[in-house]
Structure 1
């Protein structure tokens, strides 16, 4: 590779990084999020999309979106189909509302068009400026706690309990042992600032899992997979059901979730690399990627929380995202191999990233309950409801209510009042539908 070309394209040195660090961060980002190719496809198949076609749609959407983010916004944000939004697509829009999956893809496309309109007009800045810092910090911390929760659950360290909501996983389970051992390796490497610590963790975690009999490499093939069914998925969106009320309810709910979830995620990521000036372009790229999702045949993308893995590995520019996108393209040849990477190798990375994101809680003003309580509700409800959108909604509704109660209604911008009402409508419409 000609490093000078990439230096000019991404201003690597100017942004405090190196070519090697960006490549490594892109690889780490990929291995941290690659599980989405299988998980998202399984959920999309529940909506009726052919499984192999859903895998290709997920890969195409993720690759195109990451590369777009890298070149357009020059930030290391990873865009892939969002967990929760894929469930909304399959279980609410298709199975619950009775839309065909082709119509649901059209709803994704329309939501993307509305999202892009907001992102490319002054509405984006107006909305962003209207959100107080306490809520933004609450979102960042809530996402960190959510990521930590996902890691603990994925690694088996916490599990469902018959007598309570959660319980400690059993150390008689090889998966739990593998996760614990891999976490010790991961945190040791991270504390010592070992280059490529997360990538080493994934490799070491996979070896540990193999030694404990959790995974097997027998039957792994490098022949790739049949992609012919993707012809039935690509550009298959249909507006035949656009006259139905449920179609527009689905568009409303999805747009609400997309806009406000990504506001929180994008803000958190650009602030973590100390490049808040790139927020607007990153937000715009996210809007365009949702349009791509509908055309490519997938549920919509989000600026995933796993982006923090690449950032923690030193990624500071769009080259990180581009490398991740390229690896998604290549991965179509290695799906059987990717499936072998165990959860116990990924979970420790998610836990560490979650811990890092939670440090922002120190920025909350606990002397003013009207500021701290809505933020704390967001922090608690994002992981406890297992929904970023629901957690944010509760905080955004409570903030203006508390300000009114203490006689500080004028501190709340008109836009934030509208956002609060829209989130309340989101809950009402979701309940009715």
Structure 2
């Protein structure tokens, strides 16, 4: 273990790594409750989605540990799962097996990019402002879904959206749950999101809103989703835009998480580059493909890994610990399936708030940077499409720079993505 993970070289111990893995797991364990609910909205069996979530997280985290030796855990990504269920399947009417096929293809492209120097060019060519705008926009998109799940936001024919009814007990309990989760997170309580979800679900028991199914049991069957991805269907539909969205968001999400966590852990090179970046991205892309095979949306690196880094995690042993804990979680399916939607919706809103923090780092004194970033962030929830937000943001960035007489500042990747998005919007009418 010492030779493989280089514990002494990084100034850590097995005990510290295991405790760090536990800290990371507790901060991201909410995904085993939230993700099956979102996948169920796409028509996927929630029991199979629970198993797929646990296995995808375990395998992805183990790949990161063994390939890159990073203290970074993986699981189905928040935002991308909502895009999968509500935009692709619900909004576009794409069957979920075909959507899983698109996830697999995007992971395959990501893997191919990870084997070539193209990945560094693509990551470095996309301006920081757009990266921050995309992250915040996904957060706003997630927040809208969470507010709708809480019952706070409802459809309104006159104003498009309106305030829900506080006569609904579930809405009141959701609001209590959000305040509880936010308070626990603000106090720095490890696993605050999970605790808040469980307490909110318990509050629903006296009102008949929560039905307790037990705690321990053998894992549900994975058969309803295992190998059900329809790659041929994804290719025949020509859903290039969907595949591109899964790919670009996965790439940017993972790049941002890896940069943030490795910098905090002191693993970044002096020139700002990341050691073993190719291996880390291969772990990410491999996790995405495996997740599609199992039956869940794109698997990504989790920024919650910062909790483990804060606790002293410095090697892949931290991520390997997380993988083991997700495997043990497979036997908690009855508890996970007992959690109603009104209890998990507040967690979506909190994650949305956390993702919006990136806006503070935008260059607010430079209009050609902050305007496209805000267009990107606003377009995602208001068009109910991550892909649309990304496309409009890149087009806006390129055109604003040109009109401002600063076309030389536009990178090659921005021109490519902007042109492809413009063609896509034109063809869609």
TM range (shorter): 0.7 to 0.9
CA distance 1:149–1:111, shift in 2 (3 Å): closer
Query: Cα offset for 1:421?
Result: 1.3
Partner of 1:260: 248
CA distance 1:223–1:79, shift in 2 (3 Å): closer
Partner of 1:284: 282
1:383 pairs, out of 372, 381, 384, with 381
Query: Cα offset for 1:336?
Result: 3.0
Cα deviation code 1:134-163 (max 9, x no counterpart): 112212322333343333333223232343
TM-score where L is the length of structure 1:
0.78
Cα deviation code 1:96-120 (max 9, x no counterpart): 5x9x94x776655444322211122
Query: Cα offset for 1:374?
Result: 0.6
Query: Cα offset for 1:202?
Result: 2.8
Query: Cα offset for 1:23?
Result: 0.3
Write out aligned runs for 1:37-186 (5 A): 37-40=36-39, 43=42, 45=44, 56-57=51-52, 59-73=54-68, 74-80=70-76, 82-83=80-81, 84-86=83-85, 90=89, 101=97, 108-186=103-181
CA distance 1:109–1:208, shift in 2 (3 Å): closer
Paired residues of 1:80 and 1:302 also in contact (CA < 8 A): yes
Partner of 2:236: 246
- The more displaced of 364-373 and 83-92 is 83-92
Matches of 1:387 and 1:75, distance apart in 2: 32
5+ residue gaps, structure 1:
none
Cα deviation code 1:278-333 (max 9, x no counterpart): 66544332222233245x253541427xx345646857665665455445444444
TM-score where L is the length of structure 2:
0.79
Matches of 2:215 and 2:304, distance apart in 1: 28
CA distance 1:168–1:5, shift in 2 (3 Å): farther
Matches of 1:322 and 1:13, distance apart in 2: 15
Query: Cα offset for 1:260?
Result: 1.0
Write out aligned runs for 1:173-252 (5 A): 173-217=168-212, 219-220=213-214, 222-224=216-218, 227=221, 229=223, 234-235=226-227, 241=232, 246-247=236-237, 249-250=238-239, 252=240
Matches of 1:107 and 1:188, distance apart in 2: 38
1:411 and 2:409 equivalent?
yes
Partner of 2:271: none
Q: How many residues matched?
A: 410
5+ residue gaps, structure 2:
269-273
Paired residues of 1:59 and 1:328 also in contact (CA < 8 A): yes
1:366 pairs, out of 351, 364, 367, with 364
Cα deviation code 1:229-253 (max 9, x no counterpart): 45xx6456677x58x9735x23x33
Matches of 2:8 and 2:425, distance apart in 1: 44
RMSD over aligned Cα, in angstroms? Answer: 3.8
Paired residues of 1:109 and 1:290 also in contact (CA < 8 A): yes
Specify the SS of the correspondent of 2:205.
helix
Query: Cα offset for 1:223?
Result: 4.1
